[in-house]
Amino acid sequence: MEQHSLTSKWSLLKDLSHLVYPEGCLICDRELSAQEKHICSFCQEQISYTDYQLYQDDTDMDKLFWGRVQVYSTYAHIHFKKNAASQKILFNLKYKDGSPLGYYFGQEIGNRLLGVDKFKSCDLIVPVPLHHKKAFIRGYNQSEMIADGISTIMDAPVIVDLAKRTKHSSTQTKKNRFQRWDNVSEIFKVDPKIQKYNHVMLVDDVITTGATMESLIKSIQNCAPDIRISVVTLAIA
Ligand SMILES: [Zn+2]
């Protein structure tokens, strides 16, 4: 099957982003004033941006992968805080129709990373896949929406079928990090077509222990040992 037929449906709306965004605040639904764009000032005030794109030294996200897997560069857009806005963002992305919100943050991320040297060579964007059963129940993959937003700003395509999840990982929540790694270590199947790319950006909504990401990275490196891998998430917990 032609790869691009499986790029996500939202990329069709790239040039129509003014139609993608509804009128109210994307996070709390409040009516926006004339000065506010997509997110109201109450929510905006609660969002804690990492500014990782400005760091010269290693960030907490870089350190998350130390001693585990080789990663070329990393970026998280916001800190996940125990406040209403953070929680609503992740809830909306997962359980409401979070597509406009994911797309919006994706474009913000793209704008932050556009001038960053370590991301300039990215020629492929891959959202962390959901198991197809989960995607079917939810109707969409929230990471794909973020990836699509990034892709409209940076010159790299989103291709969703190069990595697939092969089994559920829903039993992982009560285990510790090492048991969890065992549990997720075999869940990704990577298409050898990924070898023709130089630098892949993996995109997820939130990173906590990094176990799932670690597993995906190892699966990609097994398949394409020379590819550069960068990790981008909307939030870091
Ligand atoms: Zn709001």
User: What is the distance in A from the centroid of ligand 1 to the CA of 88?
Assistant: 9
Q: Based on C-alpha coordinates, what's the Rg of the chain?
A: 17
Kindly state whether residue 171 falls inside one of the protein's structural domains: yes
What domain count does the chain have?
A: 1
User: What is the distance in A from the centroid of ligand 1 to the CA of 162?
Assistant: 36
User: What is the distance in A from the centroid of ligand 1 to the CA of 62?
Assistant: 30
User: What is the distance in A from the centroid of ligand 1 to the CA of 89?
Assistant: 10
pTM of the predicted model as reported, rounded to 2 decimal places: 0.84
User: What is the distance in A from the centroid of ligand 1 to the CA of 41?
Assistant: 7
User: What is the distance in A from the centroid of ligand 1 to the CA of 186?
Assistant: 40
Each residue's pLDDT expressed in tens, for the chain with a length of 237 residues: 344 444 555 555 544 554 556 679 999 999 999 899 999 999 999 999 999 999 999 999 999 999 999 999 999 999 998 888 899 998 888 887 778 899 999 999 999 999 899 999 999 999 999 876 666 666 678 899 999 999 999 989 999 999 998 865 555 455 555 554 444 455 899 999 999 999 999 999 999 999 999 999 999 999 999 999 999 999 999
User: What is the distance in A from the centroid of ligand 1 to the CA of 146?
Assistant: 19
Residues 72-110 as b/e (b if ≥16 CB within 10 A, e otherwise) read bbbbbbbebeeeebbebbbebbeeeebbbbbbbbbbbbb
Residue 200 maps to which CATH number?
3.40.50
Pairing of strands 188-190, 48-49: unpaired
The first and second tokens of residue 220, run together, are 């990609």
Kindly state whether residue 58 falls inside one of the protein's structural domains: yes
Kindly state whether residue 194 falls inside one of the protein's structural domains: yes
Kindly state whether residue 44 falls inside one of the protein's structural domains: no
Kindly state whether residue 32 falls inside one of the protein's structural domains: no
User: What is the distance in A from the centroid of ligand 1 to the CA of 54?
Assistant: 27
Kindly state whether residue 37 falls inside one of the protein's structural domains: no
Kindly state whether residue 29 falls inside one of the protein's structural domains: no
The residue segments making up the domain with residue 87 are: 3-22+49-236
The first and second tokens of residue 205, run together, are 């909504």
Kindly state whether residue 167 falls inside one of the protein's structural domains: yes
